[in-house]
Structure 1
Amino acid sequence: MEPLRIALTVAKRFGKTRHHDIRVIVEGDAARLRIPSLPLRPELMITDQTTTCTGLEREPVVQRHSALRALAAAETRWVALPVWSALCEALGTPMREEDLRDVASNRPDLLAVSFDESGEERVHIISEAVRLRIRELDEATAHDQHRIVRRLSAESPAGSVERYVAQALPVHAALAGVMEEILADGGLLVRVDRYALLQGLAVAWPDGVPQGSIATDIHYSEREGIDPRSHGDWISWLHWAAVTRGLTEVASGLAASAVDMPWRTLWSRWRPHGTFGRIPSEVGKILFYDQLQAGVIGEEPVAAARKVLQWDTMGGPLDDRYLERAFRVTDGIEVTPPAPLQLHYENGEEVRIGGASGWVSAASAEVPEYPETSPPWTPRTGDPVVPAGAGRWLIGGHGGLYAVELQASTDPDVDMRARGPLLGPVTDMATWQCPEAALAADGPSRFWLEGIFGSGACRTVQESDLPAGVRNERARRFLTTVGMPSLPKEIPFMSTVALDEQGLVPVEWPADAPAPESEGPFYHLGFWTGGMVLLDGSSGAVLQDTNSGYSSEVLASSLLQFTTLLALYREYFTSLFSTEAEVRDARWSLREWAERIDPVTEDGDHWDDVLDGSLDDPNSH
């Protein structure tokens, strides 16, 4: 992974320097890695090293010593003798360390021996070309790699083998096809370094990590700049991800480890990364200190989360109306039903009308503060962070709310960031999974559409009221059974009429517009950025009359595809994503879904603007 990232990132950037004083030399094996072509003609120096490996397959030492195969299978350049011995055992040819020492001393032309900073003896194959050739001659299979994973996982956490586990176990698991086993075991996750885990994810899923697992959280944590120097700090973040996603066993395994975690998550009402669409009972964005308060109800310490009911165009509350929810600080259980709240200030004092029953703020209840503790670092400066008792903090943000408890830590690197990754993220995100209901063969159901647009949104037309000009059978069936959603303001760039009230009104194609490709007749469905949205009665296609400012005439091949696309866009538009990376990934996933659902979206200039986000702001058109 790293040579590719260096070629694409470092060499490309250096190649753009004004004076071209820096050159990057890349050594590559053309049979193994295709060096990408780069702009500005960077220089590539290619050295033919095939002579190093000539006849290697006939080399007696390679045939006689399977230990070389085990050494070549290692995922670090230098390998301690206990690690080499463990790899030999995993691959079915156990050898003692002293025997391996003899192998190394007898072949100084192939193997180098040195000592690490702790004085432990280590070995490596001198030529990388030779190491790769040995791998090619007898490559470790997925089954072999799984045996290595099992052997390393069974090792007691100590010594050089454990250091190798921290560096290499995820890549071995990826090559074995069992990366999910590592991710599902908190006891194993604590044993591997963050960077090694990222490398394992990149190898396991070269086309992007799948949506909906803790791998998703690890990817987006990297995109958010969560790169702690402290391993314990990283395990605290992994524990947060597991709690947020509801992975109880993983969270328990992480918390039960001997790792020095500086903080742990008590509970989380944060939106899991990579979630598309709205989530029932979602807390919503908690961006201001007015939205997050510590207090008591009775004698129970609680956190009050206040959901803004309507945001203004500048990203702040439009008025003083909220929906207040109260969660017990210790375990996050909601202690009162959500309640409307009006909140304003008089002479600097908070004045409440309504809200959670029995709520008393921490200040009014004289709950002591604990200034001797500091909250853990968060990726976004300015997110509300509120003390909630000894060593406990409430943290809000774009994803919602969670509570943490600080733990004693002796690690000097806690809260220190590595300020990376300098080469960009190690992992990529795969295309998100399209909701199954959007891909149903018989079209979108009324149940699914109204789950997105609201109960009663779909308006049907009686069969007897359908104009004779609507000759397309699929359109007739959709209009009389599912119904066209009435969308006065749910979509920022378009609206539809209530067909049960207005009916299908025939309209003429505008005289000043280019002649339509369809024969009509045409019926009014709504508006798209100022132009009319029309149903072609003969083909069943949905068109726009080009008064919208767009030249592409066809919006969708059918009413079924049109309403499906609108529903998916509405889900995207109302999703409370917690990171900008998720917004981007959801948008390009939506584009791929749209092209799959209706190929006309691929070439339509109107859908181009929708799917690149240009029409998300209702004031932009």
Structure 2
Amino acid sequence: MISALRSAQPTSAVHWYVHRAAAGHAAAAGDFESLLEDAPTLAKVGHHTLFEAFEAAHHDRPIPPASLAANLYYLAERGVWPSAHGEWLALLHHSLLNRGPSDKALADRLLAAVDASTLPWHTVWAHGTGPGLATTERLIKRPTVRALHVVRDESGSLAIATDGQGNNVVRHLDSGEPAVGPGDAPTAPESVAADQGPSGWRPAGAAEGHVDLPRMPRHVRRAVRVGDRAVMSSSDGVFAIAILSTEAEGQAGVLKRMLRTAARLGTVGLPADALRASAEWFENVWGATRLKRVAQDAPPSSLSDAGARQFLTEVGFPHVSGFLELETRDLTASGLPEVSDSPVSHGTGFLLGTWRGAQLLLNGTSGKVLQDGSSGISDPLAGSSLRQFVTMVRLYYWWFASDWPIEDAEADLRSWLARIDPDAYAAQCWQRVFEDYNFADRQ
């Protein structure tokens, strides 16, 4: 059907079909994603019917996390509900461009298929991390932009984003390419700074008033307009738009979608790096100084488990605190103190630290990580091996310490932990880490 539409004459009947029915038929055919990949056709589909088809296509099956349907999910979760077709296309193009290089080609095709006169604005460049694009390779840190302003120097207009620590990121306003700090270059005299509040754009720092800027979803927070350009900051990063028309004029306030989507995202597969994690993978979130690698001859001879000895000497053990009520020892400073009277070690045990006040022990023979029950948890298993335990802690820390603008990734984390060590994940100590009221450092 899509192939036929590509070669069809653009009659009113064809336009009606694409605008109102094509998305629903794609969902009924079980091939909704292919419609989202066809930019010329997608540009003609009305957003009402597109979201209806999206809900139908994923009513009883999860959305693949990296799919274009997932992009619609995040648009719905962010309250994107445009007032006109042109505004919808501008928002859709922005969301695709915001997903990074992987979808830039699709964003470009979409923009090329649109009659520019129907667009109130379009995104020129975007730098940041969009929702659903997280990687476990490192912590996800999104910028907290405290101030935006535009200056002029001999190289042209420069957009400056300042974070909470006073650090500046400088980019050329027209291209988004990095630029050298402008020094004492003057602020562009015609620039107007704005914040977005419950009623839309208002002068920066003011409690009321109005600034002439396109409507944006609530996650877009600050802007500076200079002529027909505006640079904006959101919970994803910083981007610039070209303002083309006033199609949405008269539509005040923030974009709002009154009903949340009923669709749900599927879980992301276990990252390949977690299956046989390297020291670098652990260091990427904890830093090299926190991962304590012990010397080859440092583990005592009574630690007979070969896997534990190898992990301690080749990867190391993290010296961490401040989450999960987990306090681990610096093994390079204190060594591995032997605990012989623990009721759970069944032989030689070595003290790794404490977890919720209970002793955390490494069994010297089996290599299991156990907690001694003094916290009130009767199930001792914390990890079937030292590697599995530290990998689970590392993934939990990545989730705990990352910045999430909308996605939570808890379902992903749970599925990963269950895959890495099903026995430990099913035990009480790991099941309770997802209960906020049990952890003072999760409040």
Shared fold (TM-score, shorter chain, > 0.5): yes
Pairwise CA distance, 1:604:
3.0
Aligned twin of 2:354: 527
SS at match of 1:464: coil
Aligned twin of 1:268: 126
Question: Which residue identity is paired with 1:396?
Answer: S
* Partners of 1:286 and 1:399 within 8 A in 2: no
Change (3 A) 1:414 1:445: same
- Given candidates 503, 506, 511, the residue that maps to 2:335 is 503
**CA distance in 2 between partners of 1:552 and 1:378 (Å):** 50
CA deviations on 1:154-213 (whole Å, 9 max, x unpaired) are: 334441222121222234334555444322332222111223323444455542222224
SS at match of 1:269: strand
Aligned twin of 1:165: 18
**CA distance in 1 between partners of 2:141 and 2:380 (Å):** 41
Question: Which residue identity is paired with 2:228?
Answer: G
- Given candidates 258, 261, 268, the residue that maps to 2:115 is 258
Pairwise CA distance, 1:306:
2.3
Pairwise CA distance, 1:506:
0.9
Aligned residues: 423
Largest Rg, 1 or 2: 1
**Correspondences of 1:452-531 after superposition (within 5 Å):** 452-489=285-322, 491=323, 493-509=325-341, 515-516=343-344, 518-531=345-358
Pairwise CA distance, 1:420:
3.9
**CA distance in 1 between partners of 2:84 and 2:21 (Å):** 19
* Structure 1 stretches lacking a partner, 5+ long: 1-147, 309-320, 337-355
Question: Which residue identity is paired with 1:455?
Answer: A
- Given candidates 173, 180, 187, the residue that maps to 1:329 is 173
SS at match of 1:562: helix
Change (3 A) 1:545 1:264: same
Question: Which residue identity is paired with 2:86?
Answer: G
Pairwise CA distance, 1:587:
1.0
- Given candidates 292, 302, 321, the residue that maps to 2:148 is 292
**CA distance in 1 between partners of 2:131 and 2:149 (Å):** 25
- Given candidates 401, 413, 422, the residue that maps to 2:238 is 401
Aligned twin of 1:151: 4
Change (3 A) 1:477 1:418: closer
**Correspondences of 1:175-186 after superposition (within 5 Å):** 175-176=28-29, 178-186=31-39
Aligned twin of 1:197: 50
Aligned twin of 2:159: 303
**CA distance in 1 between partners of 2:136 and 2:179 (Å):** 23
- Given candidates 182, 185, 205, the residue that maps to 1:360 is 185
- Given candidates 71, 81, 86, the residue that maps to 1:232 is 86
**CA distance in 1 between partners of 2:410 and 2:429 (Å):** 15
SS at match of 1:607: helix
Pairwise CA distance, 1:281:
11
SS at match of 1:360: coil
**CA distance in 1 between partners of 2:300 and 2:378 (Å):** 28
Aligned twin of 1:597: 420
Aligned twin of 2:369: 542
**CA distance in 1 between partners of 2:429 and 2:173 (Å):** 48
Pairwise CA distance, 1:558:
1.0
Q: Do residues 376 (structure 1) and 230 (structure 2) align?
A: no
- Given candidates 57, 60, 77, the residue that maps to 1:223 is 77
* Partners of 1:270 and 1:400 within 8 A in 2: yes
Change (3 A) 1:195 1:427: farther
1 or 2 for the larger relative contact order (CA 8 Å, sep ≥6)?
A: 2
Change (3 A) 1:455 1:464: closer
Change (3 A) 1:570 1:190: same
Q: Do residues 577 (structure 1) and 415 (structure 2) align?
A: no
* Partners of 1:229 and 1:416 within 8 A in 2: no
**CA distance in 2 between partners of 1:505 and 1:326 (Å):** 52
SS at match of 1:394: strand
CA deviations on 1:15-74 (whole Å, 9 max, x unpaired) are: xxxxxxxxxxxxxxxxxxxxxxxxxxxxxxxxxxxxxxxxxxxxxxxxxxxxxxxxxxxx
- Given candidates 596, 606, 611, the residue that maps to 2:434 is 611
Report sequence identity in percent. Answer: 27
* Partners of 1:293 and 1:303 within 8 A in 2: yes
**CA distance in 1 between partners of 2:65 and 2:255 (Å):** 26
**CA distance in 1 between partners of 2:139 and 2:279 (Å):** 23
* Partners of 2:224 and 2:231 within 8 A in 1: yes
SS at match of 1:358: coil
Aligned twin of 1:449: 282
**Correspondences of 1:419-458 after superposition (within 5 Å):** 420-422=257-259, 424-438=260-274, 440=275, 443-458=276-291
**CA distance in 1 between partners of 2:52 and 2:16 (Å):** 16
Question: Which residue identity is paired with 2:272?
Answer: E
Instruction: Name the stretch that deviates more: 242-251 or 383-392.
Output: 383-392
TM-score w.r.t. the length of structure 1 is 0.62
Question: Which residue identity is paired with 1:226?
Answer: V
Pairwise CA distance, 1:255:
2.1
Change (3 A) 1:450 1:615: farther
SS at match of 2:160: strand
Provide the aligned C-alpha RMSD in A: 3.0
* Partners of 1:472 and 1:539 within 8 A in 2: yes
**CA distance in 2 between partners of 1:482 and 1:395 (Å):** 42
Aligned twin of 2:196: none
Pairwise CA distance, 1:297:
4.4
* Partners of 1:542 and 1:562 within 8 A in 2: yes
SS at match of 2:233: strand
* Partners of 2:161 and 2:170 within 8 A in 1: yes
Question: Which residue identity is paired with 2:167?
Answer: L
**CA distance in 1 between partners of 2:234 and 2:29 (Å):** 38
Pairwise CA distance, 1:369:
4.1
Pairwise CA distance, 1:368:
4.7
* Structure 2 stretches lacking a partner, 5+ long: 194-202, 204-209
* Partners of 2:384 and 2:424 within 8 A in 1: no
**CA distance in 1 between partners of 2:352 and 2:186 (Å):** 51
